[in-house]
Structure 1
Amino acid sequence: MANGTGFLSTLQSTLASAFGVQSEKKRKRDFSQGRPAHFIIAGMIGTLVFILILMLVVKLVLSQSG
């Protein structure tokens, strides 16, 4: 993992790119050395977390409204 292409590095890159703050250097590294399966899994985890947070916020708002 010293070269920065491990799964945790992939999660960090996926999160940074989701917010639009991924550097060009890291993007090039990800495309040249990254493993596609890691990016697929990281994307699925990110999507699941996003949906769960959204559901939590909706439940909170609905409970406060009535």
Structure 2
Amino acid sequence: MSESSRPRIIDIIMSVLASGFGVQSHKNYQRDFTTGTFLAYLAVGIVAFLILIACLFLIVSLVLAN
């Protein structure tokens, strides 16, 4: 991927996940802030957060059911 092209959706997902775990590389960090759009990262971040909450809710429900 060239530096001037927009990141693909998989690149955005990987960047959001990597930054969520705190392992985002400086190169990807710079790419995200120079070529990416805020709304794309926001949308992926919100979806990832909702999936995390749903998984936690499911785990707690299963543990409390036993």
TM-score (norm 2): 0.87
- Which residue of 2 is the match for residue 26 of structure 1? 28
Structure 1 residues 6-17: aligned runs within 5 Å: 6-17=8-19
Structure 1 residues 1-66: aligned runs within 5 Å: 2-3=1-2, 5-64=7-66
Alignment deviations for residues 6-65 of structure 1 (CA, whole Å, 9 cap, x no partner)? 12210110001000011011001100111111101101111110110010111011012x
Unaligned runs of 5+ in 2: none
Alignment RMSD, CA only?
A: 1.3
Between the two proteins, what is the percent identity of the paired residues? Answer: 37
For 2:37 and 2:49, locate their aligned partners in 1 and report how far apart those are by CA, in whole Å. Answer: 19
Paired residue total: 63
TM-score (norm 1): 0.87
